[in-house]
């Protein structure tokens, strides 16, 4: 049980219980639906981008504590970031959970650091990264849309 406390830290349990920015967004600039078919986690990520800056980001859906808290922390971390900063944070977070070693372009994770305990539970890594992948998809879809218009 003690090692589990590293995974289910108070911060994580708190974000799970009271997820931040947990709401559907009307008329978002970007949107994507993410799904982890293995465990049934489902999440929608909504984006509002103004002049290349994440003005608002929210999510809703249904996931485990790791998935929900990661999504919640992601939304608080992303607000105010430029698209490039957001992508860098996504990559760094992804590296921290999935790869050994350091990457030259990695940025500090700040509060997201508490989620890196997930690394010791390989089957749960997908739970922690689902929101980020969904965010990434929403952003890419948006950028895709812009370039075809």
Q: Which residues bind another protein (CB under 8 A)?
A: 1, 3-4, 7-8, 13, 16-17, 38-42, 62-68, 121, 124, 127
Q: Name the minimum Å distance from CB 134 to another protein.
A: 16
CA dihedral sign of residues 76, 82, 87, 93: negative
Tell the burial category of 8 from Cβ atoms under 10 Å away from its Cβ (0-12, 13-18, 19+).
middle
Please, which residue, 42 or 91, has the CB nearer to another protein? 42
Please, which residue, 42 or 98, has the CB nearer to another protein? 42
Q: Name the minimum Å distance from CB 70 to another protein.
A: 13
Three-class secondary structure of residue 68 per DSSP: helix
Beta bridge partners of 124: none
Please, which residue, 53 or 65, has the CB nearer to another protein? 65
């Amino acid at each position: 049980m003690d090692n589990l406390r590293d995974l289910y830290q108070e911060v994580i349990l708190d974000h799970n219980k009271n997820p931040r920015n947990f709401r559907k967004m009307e008329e978002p600039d970007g949107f994507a639906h993410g799904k982890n078919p293995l465990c049934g986690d489902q999440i929608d990520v909504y984006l509002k981008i103004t002049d290349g800056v994440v003005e608002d980001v929210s999510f809703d859906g249904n996931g485990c504590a790791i998935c929900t808290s990661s999504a919640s922390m992601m939304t608080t971390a992303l607000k105010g970031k430029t698209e490039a900063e957001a992508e860098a944070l996504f990559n760094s977070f992804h590296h921290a959970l999935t790869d050994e070693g350091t990457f030259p372009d990695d940025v500090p994770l700040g509060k997201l650091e508490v989620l890196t305990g997930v690394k010791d539970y390989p089957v749960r890594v997908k739970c922690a990264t689902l929101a980020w992948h969904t965010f990434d998809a929403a952003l890419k879809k948006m950028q895709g849309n812009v370039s075809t218009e």
